[in-house]
Amino acid sequence: MQILLGLHRIQQARNSYHEFGQGTEGYAKRFGAQYADDVNGVIIGHVLTQVVFHQDPRYFYKGKGTFRSRVLYAFATAFVCKGDNGHWQPDYSDVIGGLAAGEISTLHYPASSRTGLRLFHNVLLGFAGRAAGNLFEEFLARRLTSDVPKTPLTRQTPVLREGTPVSLISVQDLSSKTVGSAGPITFVLTSDLQMGGATVARAGAIASGQVTFERAHVGLEGMHIKVGDADVPLRSTQVRGGTGPLQYHQVEDSGRIALVLYVARNVLLR
């Protein structure tokens, strides 16, 4: 609020938007116009557009590294934000929200105001304000907050658990394969691979390994699937050390096979 009052004192002294006039009435008009801008910016730029673009407005505390790296991180995150998928993205929400709020502001500013220039300044001020806020969060907020752990909380690394089922279907037609033949085989994931309610691999992800044919039965060796940066090994039974022939069924009139394999060991997903 003090910053808001200071801006209007400057505008009043410079007689910005002279149509507003001077004195108490002119000051009140300037204050009201800027206050409306701020409210529009919050509602549109920090609520509506972030819902539309599925972006997270929070600042993610770094808390480690050199002073320079932390400063650069605070500045950089004024221009990017995390999406709901956890990945960094250009900050569409604040930019588009700022532009939309600026267009609305033309309703309560004089017609002679330089709309394009004011809009440009508002967007720049938005980035500057976020950078300043990020610096405060990174270096001062934790010092002023009670009951904060001395070390930043670490994010637990998710683990894809052993025995997790993985539904697959072969890409190749296996009907022409003969006993004793072997070779590489490719499968695709038929349904999303879930972990703790979150999707870690989408349907269509590739799994591969070696196929063998013995006594009219299909055998698989070295099966694995890529999940993020992790190479996840697969086995044919849910229980470690389980025995028995590979369970699968042939997809009608295609020569392809569908089956369920299982994660062979716990795998850290980074």
Parse the chain into domains and list their residue ranges: 2-144, 159-268
Cross-strand bridge partners of residue 267: 160
Selected residue with higher pLDDT from 172 and 265: 265
- The pair of three-digit structure tokens given for residue 10, joined into one six-digit string: 């400057």
R_g (Cα) of the chain, nearest Å: 29
pLDDT of residue 156: 63
- What is 159-268's CATH topology? Lipocalin (2.40.128)
What's the rounded mean pLDDT across residues 65-77? Answer: 92
CA–CA dist 238, 164 (Å, integer): 8
Tens of pLDDT, residues 2-58: 444 455 566 666 666 666 677 777 777 777 777 777 777 677 766 788 788 888 878
Sign of the torsion angle spanned by Cα atoms 95, 98, 104, 106: negative
DSSP state letters, 6-23: HHHHHHHHHT-SGGG-SH
Q: Are strands 88-90 and 159-160 parallel, antiparallel or unpaired?
A: unpaired
Burial 207-216 (b: 16+ CB within 10 A, else e): bebebbbeee
CA–CA dist 98, 88 (Å, integer): 20
pLDDT of residue 207: 93
pLDDT band at 248 (very low <50, low <70, confident <90, very high): confident
Selected residue with higher pLDDT from 6 and 181: 181
Q: Does 232 have pLDDT greater than 70?
A: yes
Q: Does 95 have pLDDT greater than 90?
A: no
pLDDT of residue 36: 75
Q: In the chain, what percentage of residues exceed pLDDT 70?
A: 74
Selected residue with higher pLDDT from 127 and 168: 168
pTM, whole model, 2 decimals? 0.45
Tens of pLDDT, residues 140-161: 887 777 665 555 555 566 889 9
Using the structure block, give the residue that is written with the tokens 């588009």. Answer: 96
Mean pLDDT over all residues of the chain? 79
